[in-house]
Amino acid sequence: MFFTLTLSKAIHNTESFPNRHTKERQTESPVTEPTRDRIDFKSLTAEYRPVLDRVEKAIEERFHSDVAMIPKVSGYLIGGGGKRIRPLLTIVSARLAGYAGGEREVDLSVVAEYIHAATLLHDDVVDDADLRRGAASANVAFGNQASVLVGDFLFAKSFDMMSDDGDIRIIKAMARATTCLAEGEVLQLVNTCNLDTFESEYLDTIYRKTGALMEACCRVGGLMGNADAATVEGLGSYGASIGIAFQLVDDVLDWLGDQKVWGKPIGADLAEGKITLPLIRALAAANEDERGRIGAAIDADTVDEETVADITAILQKYDTLGQTMRLAHEYVDRAKRGLAALPQSRHLDTLLGIADYIVQRDV
Where residue 51 sits, what CATH number does that domain have? 1.10.600.10
Q: Is residue 258 part of a domain?
A: yes
What is the pairing mode between strands 135-136 and 131-132? antiparallel
Q: By C-alpha distance, which of 75, 58, 298 is closest to 192?
A: 298
pLDDT value at 24 more than 90: no
Q: Is residue 296 part of a domain?
A: yes
Q: Is residue 199 part of a domain?
A: yes
Q: How far apart are the first and last CA of the chain?
A: 33
Q: Is residue 312 part of a domain?
A: yes
Q: What is the pLDDT of residue 204?
A: 97
Give the domain extent around 86. Answer: 2-28+38-358
pLDDT value at 335 more than 90: yes
Q: Is residue 215 part of a domain?
A: yes
Question: Three-state secondary structure along 77-130?
Answer: HHCCCCCCHHHHHHHHHHHHCCCCCCHHHHHHHHHHHHHHHHHHHHHHHHHCCC
Q: How far apart are CA 151 and CA 116, in angstroms?
A: 10
Is 63:78 a contact under the CB 8 Å cutoff?
A: yes
Domains contained in the chain, number: 1
Q: How far apart are CA 237 and CA 249, in angstroms?
A: 19
Find the mean pLDDT for residues 82-87.
Answer: 89
Q: How far apart are CA 333 and CA 331, in angstroms?
A: 5
Q: What is the pLDDT of residue 277?
A: 97
Q: Is residue 178 part of a domain?
A: yes
Q: Is residue 363 part of a domain?
A: no
Q: Is residue 33 part of a domain?
A: no
Nearest 10 degrees: Cα torsion 197, 201, 207, 208 = -90
Q: By C-alpha distance, which of 96, 97, 104, 98 is closest to 51?
A: 104
Quick one: what percent of the chain has pLDDT higher than 70? 85
pLDDT tens readout for residues 101-110: 899 999 999 9
